[in-house]
Amino acid sequence: MNTMAAPRPLTAIEKYYRFHSRIYDATRWSFLFGRSGILDPIAAVAKPTRILEIGCGTGKNLVTLAQRFPDAEVTGLDLSATMLDVAESKAAAFGGRVKLIHRSYDAPLDAEPAYDLILFSYALTMFNPGWETAIECAQRDLVAGGHIAVVDFHDSVFPWFKRWMGVNHVRMDGHLQPKLEALFQPQTDKLCSAYGGVWKYLMFVGRSPRSGGF
């Protein structure tokens, strides 16, 4: 793992995942819907070779990405060292093809765009503040014509549910979709219902504009 020394107090998110990293894989299947399906529209139109997942957590999607795109180099980035500790053994199974980076995504990774697919899976709603910057960074890290894929919570009509998600550091205000639509050419852009309408989640795939716009 590429671990940057971080002599600083842990953020609220890092503290949260010190415990939740232990139960994450056993529990999140029951409510983080769409994590596999978000890759279907990409696989139908493109064969990405340099893939980045921002907020990769315990690495479930890194495995899916590496299996689905066997010629691709896959990089997972996350703020939480404890989540990356869990991801490490999954990444190791692919030799050097899956790499991990420990940092916050608050600036582009490279001076030049280097990735043809960037995935955010249930990450952006936890970037508070920072979600707008992260989307803008992804636009700069994506090569022209590359794809961004986002699956995440969207909104709920139930205030108690939004409050509960807020306790878990998740913002559910339908705030991601307009920003994504403004910066990327939508290929897939839909809201899906979970548990009979308790909440909606967003599935968005967009293409990075080539120079001159969409």
- Enumerate binding residues for ligand SAM (CB under 6 A): 13, 17, 28, 32, 35, 54-57, 60-61, 77-80, 83, 104-105, 121-123, 126-127, 130
- CA angle 123–179–17, rounded 5-degree value: 15
CB of 46 to ligand SAM, least distance (A): 20
CB of 63 to ligand SAM, least distance (A): 11
- Three-state SS for the chain is CEECCCCCCCCHHHHHHHHHHHHHHHHHHHCCCCCCHHHHHHHHHCCCCEEEEECCCCCHHHHHHHHHCCCCEEEEEECCHHHHHHHHHHHHCCHHHEEEEECCCCCCCCCCCCEEEEEEECCHHHCCCCHHHHHHHHHHHEEEEEEEEEEEEEECCCHHHHHHHHHCCCCCCCCHHHHHHHHCEEEEEEEEEEHHHCEEEEEEEEECCECCEC
Q: Using the minimum distance from each CB to ligand SAM, give the nearer residue, 17 or 184.
A: 17
Q: Using the minimum distance from each CB to ligand SAM, give the nearer residue, 65 or 146.
A: 65
Q: Using the minimum distance from each CB to ligand SAM, give the nearer residue, 4 or 213.
A: 4
CB of 210 to ligand SAM, least distance (A): 27
Q: Using the minimum distance from each CB to ligand SAM, give the nearer residue, 103 or 190.
A: 103
Q: Using the minimum distance from each CB to ligand SAM, give the nearer residue, 79 or 180.
A: 79
CB of 213 to ligand SAM, least distance (A): 29
CB of 62 to ligand SAM, least distance (A): 9
Q: Using the minimum distance from each CB to ligand SAM, give the nearer residue, 80 or 208.
A: 80
Surface-to-core class of residue 10, CB atoms within 10 Å of its CB (0-12 exposed, 13-18 middle, 19+ buried): middle
Nearest residue to ligand SAM by CB is: 57
CB of 53 to ligand SAM, least distance (A): 6
Task: Note whether 107 and 138 are within 8 A (CB).
Answer: no
